[in-house]
Structure 1
């Protein structure tokens, strides 16, 4: 089992094209941990903003009476992929991993696979 710091380091090291990663509480919008980012990518601001994305999708599912769970949410920009993976483990309820990838260097399928593995090992 990996703690938050180890999981974030694993994501940055094992996912090709990773620009930044955060573990986020979507109840408060606060990042519990971040790694990476840049002057143009403030992961704390992105964490808070993407909390609204998660909440909106959960509301939409409720309104549509969809009895399902969100595995991940993908936002595709011109130069970046933003991947939001909701934690499903007992200790991860209310949390998501947020990963930013460089489109030119990333393999999206492998990134999703690696993020799923990291989530499975994460102990919050």
Structure 2
């Protein structure tokens, strides 16, 4: 089992093209941990903004009466992928992993696979 710091460090070192990562509580919009980012990617701002994305999608699914779960949400920019993975399990309710990737260096399928593995090992 990995703690937040270990999981985020693994996400940015083991996932090719990772620019930054955060563990976010989408009930409050607060980042519980961040790594990477930089002057062009403030992960605390990204955490708050992507909380709105997650809340909107969850609400839309409720309005549609969809009885399904969100695995991840992908936002494709010109130079980056932003991957949001909602965490499952009793200790992970209301949390998501956020990963920003350099589009030129990242393999999106592998990043999704590795983020799922990191989620499985995460103990919050």
Q: Please give the range of the TM-score, normalised by the shorter of the 2 chains.
A: over 0.9
Q: How many positions carry a matched residue from both structures?
A: 124
TM-score scaled to structure 1, two decimals? 0.99
Runs of 4+ in 1 over 3 A off after TM superposition: none
| Aligned Cα root-mean-square deviation (Å) | 0.4
- Structure 1 residue 69 displacement after superposition: 0.4
Name the TM-score, length of structure 2 as normaliser: 0.99
C-alpha displacement at 1:89, in angstroms? 1.7
1: distance between equivalents of 2:37 and 2:16?
A: 15
1:86 corresponds in structure 2 to 86
Residues 64-116 of structure 1: CA deviation (Å, up to 9, x unaligned): 00000000000000000000000002111000000000000000000000000
User: Which ranges in structure 2 are unaligned for 5 or more consecutive residues?
Assistant: none
Identify the residue that residue 15 of structure 1 maps to in structure 2: 15
In 2, the alpha carbon distance for the partners of 1:44 and 1:57 equals: 20
